[in-house]
Structure 1
Amino acid sequence: MRLNSGNTPWRSTLQDPPTYPALENTVHCDCLVVGAGIGGAMASYRLSLNGAKTVLIEKRQVGYGSSHANTGLLQISNDKSLTSCMNTFGQKSGLLFYQLCQAAVRNILDLASKLDIDSQIIPRSSLLYASTPADVSALREEYENLVANGFDSEFWDEERIASVYSFSKPAALYSRSDAEANPYRLVHSLIAKAATNGVRVYEQTEARQYEFTEDGVICHTENGRIIAKKIIFAMGYETQEFKKDHGAKLINTYAVMTKPLKEFPKWHERSLLWETARPYLYFRTTPEGRIIAGGKDEPLTDPERRDIRVISQSQRLLDELEALFPELKGIELEYSWGSVFGSTRDGLPYIGPHPRFPHCYFIEGYGGNGTVYSMIAAELLTDTIAGKNRPELDLFSLTRSAKPSPSQNSVVI
């Protein structure tokens, strides 16, 4: 699957990233992690802290899949609001999901002092604004539920918004304790630290076949084998080519990054910005003085069609940015890209085991909070592999929308 189109920005922010060899022999491990994006990076790092003998493989170069197109917004709030989660899953489960996201953002912020490559992890607040006056009542209800359950959020009226931003909206929630990061640098920093801690990392190493045995899984690559007791599949949206989830949906999404600004517009605390409309637009700044705008989601097409759509969708995103901040009129873009993006029907990611794949676990952080979901997954799965019971996994069950399938002994990709 070709995941990205256009010109993604992050490679230029890390001039000499660490490199790793291809696998050319047989190795044994406690856990094999397949995929060196943000999910695999976080899982490998957490496994290294637990002392598990771990191997990480990536069929491309590290960080060159969906993580290369990630826009790096890290938020407690989700595409599905706390109110909607509590209505759909029950108050206890809906709140648990948001509490897990809150803890995950906090844990990502804590990484800044523990990693050797600066990942530009910066605390930020978020402004979620009402796209139309009709959205104000739902926004107020969301505010009441957030505050009642201990989340740091304020309800802002139109006058308050206009006092600190270049735009005015009918209402907004201003929430604290979110963050931003450079996703490419974060992936490399996590994997480099994991390698320092003993994880064996192999790039340009594609899994060709898996044999499921009584004691574990044998992964065959072009020039080697990995004999593992457990596997964590962290293949992102490409998981759908390997194991189709009926509750998952893939689409195209788009983003742009401007050239560095000489000065910023009226933008309170350089907060993350997003809206109540679905699909939504979102905006953030970067430490280099740039602006990222994203959204304009549309149905999944072939990569060639997406290549063409990058041009028109990028212009539409630029128009939206200039509409919010009129003083930016004439601003120039430096990067424009389109990518595959995944979501689920019920708004929760898929994390955990699947009956068709013994000794295996999956990280499918589908939704607008994929990096946060990856941190949740890394913690839950590494604890599970270490023998600790994590009942929170029930919330993210891979079979919650599908009947279990019979076990099988071999899978060829």
Structure 2
Amino acid sequence: MRLNSGHMPWEATFKNRPVYPSLEEDVSCDCLIVGGGMGGAMMAYRLSLSGASAVLIDKRDIAGGSSHANTGLLQIANDKSLTACINTFGEANGVLFYKLCREALDNILDLPGKLDIEARIIPRSSLLYASTPEDVPLLRQEHETLTAHGFHSEFWDADKVGAHYSFSKPAALYSKGDAETNPFRMVHSLIDKAHSGGVRIYEHTRAVRYEYHAEGVTCYTDRGRIFAKKVVFAMGYETQEMKKDRGAELINTYAIKTRPLAKLPKWHERSLIWETARPYLYFRTTPDNCIIAGGKDEQLTDPERREVRVLSQCRRLLEEVEALFPEAKGVEAEYAWGALFGTTRDGLPFIGPHPDYPHCYFIEGYGGNGTVYSMIAAELLADTLAGRRRPELELFSLTRSTKPSPAPAVEA
């Protein structure tokens, strides 16, 4: 599956990345992780903390798949609002989901002091603006829901938005506790730390087939076998080639990174910016005064057509940047790319076991908050593999119904 098209910026920021060998022999482990993107990196790092015997393989370079196209926005809020989550899943489950996202964000913000390679994880606030006046009541309701359940939220009217930004919108929610990152460096920093903690890492190692046994799984690769008691599949959107999830949908999305600006426009606290419209636009800055913009999602097409669409869609993204920030008029896009992007119909990721794959677990962090979902998955699955029951996994079941259900009994 061809995941990305165009020219992506992150590899240029980390030219001397660690490299790892290909697997050339038979090995055994307690846990095999398939996939060296954000999900696999989080899982490997978390297992290394417990001293578990683990192996990670990737058929490409580490971070060479969808993580290479990640735009690095990390938020507590989701594509699906807390109000909508409560309406769909019930109050207890909706609030639990948002609390898990907040806990995951806190864990991510705690990473930099624990990693040997700088991951460039930077705390940020977020602005969610009303795309139209008709969206203002929904924003106000979401503000009331968030604050009622202990989440930080400020409701800003049009005047306050205009006082803090180059643009004005009918209303907005301003929230704290989010972050931005360089996803390429973040994946490498996590895997580097996992490797130093004993996890065996193999690049350019393709899993050819699997055999499932009573005692575990045998993974056959190009040039060796891996005997694992458990397997965690962290293959991102390519999981849909292995098994088709009924509630998953793959689309195309696009992004640009501008050339550095001599001076950033009026942009309060360099916040992350997004909107209520669906599909939505989003914007962030970088430490070297570039602007990243993304969106213009559209139905999945073949990779060759996406390659052509990169130019036109990214030109439209540049126009959106100039419309919001007139001071940036004339800025050029140094990087422009398109990528495969996965969503789910109910707005939750898929995390956990599947009845057709014994001894296996899946990390499918589909949605705009994939890095945060990967941290949630790593925590839940690492505990599960260690024998601790995590009933929160019921929220993310691969065979779930979207009907509201009682909240899982969460252990203290």
Q: Secondary structure at the match of 1:379?
A: helix
**Displacement of 1:398:** 0.2
Tell me, in whole angstroms, the C-alpha distance in 2 between the residues paired with 1:278 and 1:332. 26
Tell me, in whole angstroms, the C-alpha distance in 2 between the residues paired with 1:257 and 1:375. 26
**Which letter does structure 2 place at the counterpart of 1:383?**
D
**Displacement of 1:132:** 0.2
Q: Secondary structure at the match of 1:42?
A: helix
Q: Secondary structure at the match of 2:330?
A: coil
Match of 1:182 in 2: 182
Match of 2:262 in 1: 262
Q: Secondary structure at the match of 1:168?
A: coil
Match of 2:391 in 1: 391
Task: Work out whether 1:357 is the aligned partner of 2:335.
Answer: no
Report if aligned partners of 1:120, 1:287 keep a CA contact under 8 Å in 2: no
**Which letter does structure 1 place at the counterpart of 2:240?**
Q
Q: Secondary structure at the match of 1:104?
A: helix
Instruction: Figure out how many residues of one structure are paired with residues of the other and give that number.
Output: 402
Report if aligned partners of 1:81, 1:142 keep a CA contact under 8 Å in 2: yes
Tell me, in whole angstroms, the C-alpha distance in 1 between the residues paired with 2:80 and 2:112. 28
**Which letter does structure 2 place at the counterpart of 1:173?**
L
Tell me, in whole angstroms, the C-alpha distance in 2 between the residues paired with 1:329 and 1:20. 43
- Segments of 4+ moved more than 6 angstroms: none
Match of 2:23 in 1: 23
> Cα deviations across residues 342-376 of structure 1 (Å, max 9, x unaligned)?
00000000000000000000000000000000000
Tell me, in whole angstroms, the C-alpha distance in 2 between the residues paired with 1:112 and 1:287. 16
Report if aligned partners of 1:322, 1:328 keep a CA contact under 8 Å in 2: yes
Match of 1:217 in 2: 217
Tell me, in whole angstroms, the C-alpha distance in 2 between the residues paired with 1:244 and 1:401. 16
Tell me, in whole angstroms, the C-alpha distance in 2 between the residues paired with 1:401 and 1:239. 20
Tell me, in whole angstroms, the C-alpha distance in 2 between the residues paired with 1:95 and 1:128. 19
Match of 1:372 in 2: 372
Match of 2:325 in 1: 325
**Which letter does structure 1 place at the counterpart of 2:166?**
S
Tell me, in whole angstroms, the C-alpha distance in 2 between the residues paired with 1:274 and 1:27. 46
Task: Work out whether 1:341 is the aligned partner of 2:341.
Answer: yes
**Displacement of 1:6:** 0.2
Task: Work out whether 1:34 is the aligned partner of 2:45.
Answer: no
Q: After TM superposition, list the pairs within 5 Å mapping 1:153-168 onto structure 2.
A: 153-168=153-168
Q: After TM superposition, list the pairs within 5 Å mapping 1:90-101 onto structure 2.
A: 90-101=90-101
Tell me, in whole angstroms, the C-alpha distance in 1 between the residues paired with 2:227 and 2:129. 50
Structure 1: 5+ residue stretches without partners: 403-413
Task: Work out whether 1:232 is the aligned partner of 2:232.
Answer: yes
> Cα deviations across residues 304-337 of structure 1 (Å, max 9, x unaligned)?
0000000000000000010000111100110000
**Displacement of 1:287:** 1.1
Task: Work out whether 1:72 is the aligned partner of 2:72.
Answer: yes
Tell me, in whole angstroms, the C-alpha distance in 2 between the residues paired with 1:18 and 1:147. 43
> Cα deviations across residues 16-65 of structure 1 (Å, max 9, x unaligned)?
00000000100000000000000000000000101110000000000000
Match of 1:120 in 2: 120
Tell me, in whole angstroms, the C-alpha distance in 1 between the residues paired with 2:165 and 2:113. 32
Match of 1:316 in 2: 316
Match of 1:243 in 2: 243
In the superposition, the TM-score normalised over structure 2's length comes to 0.97
> Cα deviations across residues 169-198 of structure 1 (Å, max 9, x unaligned)?
000000000000000000000000000000
Q: Secondary structure at the match of 1:253?
A: strand
Match of 1:192 in 2: 192
**Displacement of 1:401:** 4.5
Task: Work out whether 1:43 is the aligned partner of 2:43.
Answer: yes
Report % sequence identity: 70
Tell me, in whole angstroms, the C-alpha distance in 2 between the residues paired with 1:229 and 1:52. 12
Tell me, in whole angstroms, the C-alpha distance in 1 between the residues paired with 2:160 and 2:59. 49
Match of 1:208 in 2: 208
Structure 2: 5+ residue stretches without partners: 403-412
Match of 1:406 in 2: none
**Which letter does structure 2 place at the counterpart of 1:270?**
R
Tell me, in whole angstroms, the C-alpha distance in 2 between the residues paired with 1:261 and 1:14. 21
Tell me, in whole angstroms, the C-alpha distance in 1 between the residues paired with 2:38 and 2:303. 22
Match of 1:273 in 2: 273
> Cα deviations across residues 122-155 of structure 1 (Å, max 9, x unaligned)?
0000000000000000100000010111111100
> Cα deviations across residues 365-410 of structure 1 (Å, max 9, x unaligned)?
00000000000000000000000000000000000159xxxxxxxx
Tell me, in whole angstroms, the C-alpha distance in 2 between the residues paired with 1:278 and 1:139. 14
Q: After TM superposition, list the pairs within 5 Å mapping 1:72-151 onto structure 2.
A: 72-151=72-151
Q: Secondary structure at the match of 2:336?
A: strand
**Displacement of 1:288:** 1.6
Q: Secondary structure at the match of 2:110?
A: helix
> Cα deviations across residues 274-325 of structure 1 (Å, max 9, x unaligned)?
0000000000001121110000000000000000000000000000010000
Tell me, in whole angstroms, the C-alpha distance in 2 between the residues paired with 1:12 and 1:321. 23
Tell me, in whole angstroms, the C-alpha distance in 2 between the residues paired with 1:348 and 1:107. 20
Report if aligned partners of 1:82, 1:145 keep a CA contact under 8 Å in 2: yes
Match of 2:60 in 1: 60
Q: Secondary structure at the match of 1:387?
A: coil
**Displacement of 1:79:** 0.2
Q: Secondary structure at the match of 1:113?
A: helix
**Which letter does structure 2 place at the counterpart of 1:183?**
P
Q: Secondary structure at the match of 2:120?
A: coil
**Which letter does structure 1 place at the counterpart of 2:389?**
N
Tell me, in whole angstroms, the C-alpha distance in 1 between the residues paired with 2:47 and 2:106. 19
Tell me, in whole angstroms, the C-alpha distance in 2 between the residues paired with 1:149 and 1:203. 44
Tell me, in whole angstroms, the C-alpha distance in 1 between the residues paired with 2:307 and 2:349. 28
**Which letter does structure 2 place at the counterpart of 1:79?**
D
Report if aligned partners of 1:43, 1:382 keep a CA contact under 8 Å in 2: yes
Tell me, in whole angstroms, the C-alpha distance in 2 between the residues paired with 1:228 and 1:164. 54
Report if aligned partners of 1:246, 1:401 keep a CA contact under 8 Å in 2: no
Tell me, in whole angstroms, the C-alpha distance in 2 between the residues paired with 1:288 and 1:348. 34
Match of 2:171 in 1: 171
